[in-house]
Amino acid sequence: MGLMIYMMVMDSQHKEHGGSMPVDQNILPGLSILNLAFFLLCTPVQFLGGRYFYIQAYRSLRHGVANMDVLIVLATTIAYVYSFIVLIVAMIEGAKQSPLTFFDTPPMLFVFIALGRWLEHVAKSKTSEALAKLMSLQATDATIVSMGRDNTIIREEQVSVELVQRGDVVKVAPGGKFPVDGKVIAGTSMADESLITGEPMPVIKKPGSCVIAGSINAHGALLVEATHVGAETTLSQIVKLVEEAQTSKAPIQQLADRLSSYFVPFIVVISVLTVVAWLIIGFLDFDVVAKYFPGYEQNISRTEVIVRFAFQASITVLSIACPCSLGLATPTAVMVGTGVGAQNGILIKGGEPLEMAHKVGAVMFDKTGTITNGVPQVTRVLVLWDRARLPLRKVLAVVGTAEASSEHPLGMAVAKHCKEELGTETLGSCHDFQAVPGCGISCKVSNIEDLLQNSPKTQETNTPAAKQTPLLVTLQGATTDESSLVADTDSGSDSPSYSVLIGNRQWMLRNGLEVTTDVDDAMSSHETKGQTAILVAIDGVLCAMLAVADTVKPESALAVHTLSSMGIEVFMITGDNRRTARAIATQVGIRKVFAEVLPSHKVAKVQELQERGLKVAMVGDGVNDSPALAHADLGIAIGTGTDVAIEAADIVLIRNDLLDVVASIELSKKTVQRIRINFVFALIYNLLGIPIAAGVFMPVGLVLQPWMGSAAMAASSVSVVLSSLLLRLYKKTSVEEYESRAQSHKLSLSPSQVSTHVGMENHRCSPLSFRRSFDRHRRSHSGSGPSFMKSNSSHTSTTQHSTIGRSIV
């Protein structure tokens, strides 16, 4: 860049002398100091710095295509060769003045074009790291067991996972990863399958249940018969889908190349016609050449003067028509657009997402962690005062102490809520803790009286002001007494022990407790909203019900409404159960939902929408979303999501705000509009400048000297850059403005307005379906080059989530 600036300054001084150098600055006849400096500086740039462009131009011409590289090489080569020849001729002739040269042109063009291309590619990298992280989720070893006739284990052998064959029986210890896809033949446990389903709730595994490679076994040893191994596993198929998609992105520079494919031959033809026309005119009427080519050497022949003049006009055409501005039109806008996006919390990976986002006709949202917060939270606590007259704070202290020993996500959510309500980080003592998968927990709790008396919120409650305004709780299916909400701090200082049961209906019934109709109705009311209802029994008395749910983000409904008002179809696709999916959809206003789907079915759903002619955007945050993120026309990842999802996506929402999906589309529209304006600037400049450079308007006194062509070329590049910089004026629409637009509209829906689809049940446990979907994807795109991946949703899951049965681990 410093070389280019130096040469431009020197060249401007050179051209102040009308295209030749003063006599006193010549070191040899016809050779000035500046021309010598230009030659020495330009030559390595031309042949070393420009080597890449020469190679690309050669490859392009071999395929019968004239792209921008051809025009760049043509212009720089002609400028260099012409300058070298006229300089040698001037030295041979012993000219008193050094001739005008174009040695400054090649470095300028190479630097501007290379910089523009580098800026476009700088954000595209590291996809291989994401795939490496994904593969690291796979187990490396497996324990193969030999079974006797009575299903007893005869022998165990530790082997590499690559040696496991279909039909082998594998033992998975508590806390270990499942090395293969398979079916449980013995044992009961819980498995964390968030890798595949994206849901935070562990899934019960018992004989006959399917397991997925890479998911984590919780607390019980399992014997699993391998059904899919190696490259056939679900995890391997996800990797293949992401790899296939990430090789199919087309550079946005294609538009410029298409224009250049017509522009290059056109400019070459005009340049040749200029030479021929002025040769003819010069030989027919030399006075015309003499009039418009003043200062030529009087001691050379007329033929040489005519040839020089004709060649100078031709070089002026090539110089002014050089695609510098055309090459900068896209990269500069992309650079500014991505910078503006980053300032607004939107990480855009290059120009293709910017070009694509404004074309999106459908947006598919994952549920957990995208529309919702992705973390279970206690949404309601109902105290059954008519059954057990325990203060609310004592109930919270007992429940929190019991759940503090749990590793289950729901248990941890309950414990966290109790600590926050009690205003303490330390709870009582828990012993005899037992967890029963699919049911609940039982334990004994003690040492909570001191906790209630010493907690900050208890002290606040005991103040006179607090006693005058007790907390009010609305209970369904039970009565309440306001006094129950105030901790009983006057009880004795002894520390009684409480027998605690926490779990679902079946757990209470198994322990001899009756779940009455009013309590069951209260639970069902929450479960129909996609929440998990948990019962609490203390000392054999059913005394409370807690509702736990993954809550919706506050901006989700507004984002969905704004997208719909822009004419974009909005879908929700999730691995969660149908009831929960419908409940969330009603809250945010999504009319079409696909529930209980696997990654392969998400990809198939994206393909289905693309076959309808829609450009599809997928918004997700988990590993299970990565194939759909990569396959979608536009993949948008939540910044708090997994590394694999972030790497597979085209756009990352750093601030975890769904309204940034809308902002991404708005910024795309602004950027594409600016790119088009840049192209108009570049093309109009060429269409006006070329006839002037060719001498068409010389008869009316409009003459363009070569140095004017270079200046005009620089001016066109500057105008394109300045045009791109106007994108910095973009301001993201505020939340208040979005809310004002949606004031007269209802953001939520009734359940009858939501269409919920559940996919193919027989594909729930079969990773083979994942592979078949992948193979169909490959066949559908064979012969047309790699394509990006999309998401489908018609698949059914037989997994019963914790809205029906809950286990505390």
C-alpha distance from residue 315 to each of 113, 445, 486, 535, 711 (Å): 20, 92, 92, 87, 14
Rounded to an integer, what distance in angstroms lies between the CA atom of residue 214 and that of residue 691?
67
User: At 7, is the secondary structure helix, strand, or coil?
Assistant: helix
Nearest to 419, CA basis, from 435, 396, 437, 440 = 396
Question: What is the DSSP code (8-state) at residue 47?
Answer: I
Phi, psi (rounded to 5 degrees) for 436:
-115, 115
What is the number of other CB atoms lying within 10 angstroms of the CB of residue 505? 18
Rounded to an integer, what distance in angstroms lies between the CA atom of residue 695 and that of residue 729?
40
C-alpha distance from residue 252 to each of 70, 255, 435, 682, 780 (Å): 18, 6, 56, 17, 24
Rounded to an integer, what distance in angstroms lies between the CA atom of residue 208 and that of residue 799?
12
Nearest to 275, CA basis, from 243, 230, 308 = 308
Rounded to an integer, what distance in angstroms lies between the CA atom of residue 809 and that of residue 805?
13
C-alpha distance from residue 722 to each of 247, 328, 336, 351, 728 (Å): 33, 11, 11, 18, 10
Q: Cβ(286)–Cβ(306) under 8 Å? A: yes
Q: Encoding tokens for residue 701?
A: 């006194």
What is the bridge-based pairing of β-strands 592-595 and 755-758?
A: parallel
Rounded to an integer, what distance in angstroms lies between the CA atom of residue 177 and that of residue 218?
9
Rounding to the nearest 10 degrees, give the CA dihedral for residues 632, 633, 639, 640: -10
What is the bridge-based pairing of β-strands 169-172 and 216-217?
A: unpaired
Residue 260: which region, alpha, beta or left (left: phi > 0; alpha: psi -120 to 50)? alpha
List alpha helices for 595-654, DSSP H: 599-611, 626-631, 643-648
Rounded to an integer, what distance in angstroms lies between the CA atom of residue 431 and that of residue 439?
19
Q: Cβ(329)–Cβ(678) under 8 Å? A: yes
User: At 170, is the secondary structure helix, strand, or coil?
Assistant: strand
Q: Cβ(563)–Cβ(662) under 8 Å? A: yes
Q: Encoding tokens for residue 378?
A: 């206690």
Nearest to 500, CA basis, from 593, 394, 656, 620 = 394
Place of tokens 């000035």: 32
What is the number of other CB atoms lying within 10 angstroms of the CB of residue 203? 25
In one-letter notation, the amino acid at residue 58 is: Y
Helices 659-693 and 302-320: crossing angle in degrees, nearest 10, is 170
What is the bridge-based pairing of β-strands 592-595 and 634-638?
A: unpaired
Q: Given strand 569-573, what is the order of strands in its sheet? A: 346-348, 651-653, 634-638, 616-620, 362-366, 569-573, 592-595, 755-758
Rounded to an integer, what distance in angstroms lies between the CA atom of residue 249 and that of residue 251?
7
Rounded to an integer, what distance in angstroms lies between the CA atom of residue 203 and that of residue 205?
6
Catalytic, out of 11, 192, 257, 366: 366
| 366 flagged as catalytic | yes
* Residues acting as catalytic residues: 366
